[in-house]
Amino acid sequence: MSLPLMDEEFLTNPYPAYDRLQAGGPVHRMLLPSGLKVWAVVSYEESRKALAHPSLSKDIDASVQLGYFDREMSEGGTPRLEHSSVGQHMLNMDPPDHTRLRKLVNRALTARSVKRLEPVIEEISTALLDAVELRAAESADGSVDLVEEYTAKFPVEVLGRLLGITEEHFPVLVSLTAAIMSNDNENAGANMARFGQHLGEMIRLKRADPGEDLVSALIQARDEDAKLSDIELISTVFLLVVAGYETTVNMIGHGLRALLNHPGQLAELRADPSLIPGANEEFLRYEGPGNRATLRFATEPFELGGVTIGTGEYVSVLLGSANRDGAQFACPHQLDVKRSTTGHLGFGHGIHYCVGAPLARLEMEIALRHLLTRFPDLELAVPDAELRWRKSFMMQGLERLPVRLHKG
């Protein structure tokens, strides 16, 4: 079976299709847009199992070398990419390599470490919203695109401080991130190579002039302690930039869109901002930043959701479907900022649970609190049906979010 994964209707609202899949069972055979045959997991229970299953590996390079990728690619599908210079990061690894790399990054991204960044993040958000207000005042109808002017700039500046990436590097990195996360398979290898070259030059400069930042700490771990290789260093920085940027842009955009389409829920948060942290968990469940988890492959046969996954077969967990599973969440298509969403899969599950989750949560909390308190009359400037989504099966994000800050 195949889904219209790149159709505008599916990108705008994939949930009716997910409901139909769930009604037919928790696991289905499916073709990805590239032509790769996968087992798609759509229920919450089986998705949670798959994300932590010991018989599923994230080492996709190994699956390619074993011939599984070519075997599972349908005729006329996209040829596999050559070995990527930025792919040797923890998301593509199993223990013990995954454990080694995650430990190096995790120290800087614990909830306690991230909390120390809060004053800096508050300052960044305030300055950006000052500029947003000026831009809206200059426009003919008082509207402004929050994606362009706020949600896309906010994580760039936060990541710049955390990673020690200077301002001149980020435009190229953001542009390449957008290209990589699109479905431009023809140029994907070249874009990744350019990204790796740019990061290599940036790391060379940082090595000569280190600072109190995460990239400098990783360089030290490479040079002094030999805890990671050169390609692992570049790949880890690549992962931090791509995941840290794309996830946060989408999280904030989805949360705002959901609230602006649910005025009753919006009123509750305005009346009681202490609800915002819990509401953010509901936004992650209701419309998370990612459509699906990254691929896994079976290292041995095992059963999942009543089907047998064969050795070398690929598994794709559809996070958006799992988080709207009525067997786990009552009234799953209803937004409820007071809902107990414990266990949602917006940040994944298991050993590959998003390492940057504490930072993303803090950014989301500050963004919503600032926007809702500073602009109490915030509203969409166009009908919701006119909003457009970027074409990506992996990540789900708005192209634009036009709003008015103040009522006419």
pLDDT of residue 5 exceeding 80, the answer is no
**pLDDT score at 369:** 96
Percent of the chain with pLDDT over 70: 94
| CATH topology classification for 8-404 | Cytochrome p450 (1.10.630)
Q: Where are the domains of the chain?
A: 8-404
pLDDT of residue 185 exceeding 70, the answer is no
pLDDT of residue 99 exceeding 70, the answer is yes
114-118, 279-283, 334-338, range with the lowest pLDDT = 114-118
For residues 232 and 115, the answer to whether their CB atoms sit within 8 Å is no
Encode pLDDT of 189-231 as tens digits.
Answer: 788 888 888 888 888 889 999 988 999 999 988 877 778 888 9
Q: How high does pLDDT run on average in the chain?
A: 90
Percent of the chain with pLDDT over 90: 60
pLDDT of residue 55 exceeding 90, the answer is yes
**pLDDT score at 190:** 81
**pLDDT score at 20:** 94
pLDDT of residue 77 exceeding 80, the answer is no
Element (H, E) at 245: helix 230-260
Helix axes 357-374, 230-260, angle to 10 degrees: 30
**pLDDT score at 98:** 95
Nearest-angstrom CA–CA distance, 124 and 102? 27
Nearest-angstrom CA–CA distance, 356 and 349? 13
When pLDDT is averaged across residues 48-67 and rounded to a whole number, the result is 94
Per-residue CA distances from 120 to 124, 145, 158, 250 (Å): 6, 24, 8, 21
**Helix, strand or coil for residue 346?**
coil
Encode pLDDT of 127-174 as tens digits.
Answer: 999 999 999 999 988 899 999 999 999 999 999 899 998 878 878 887
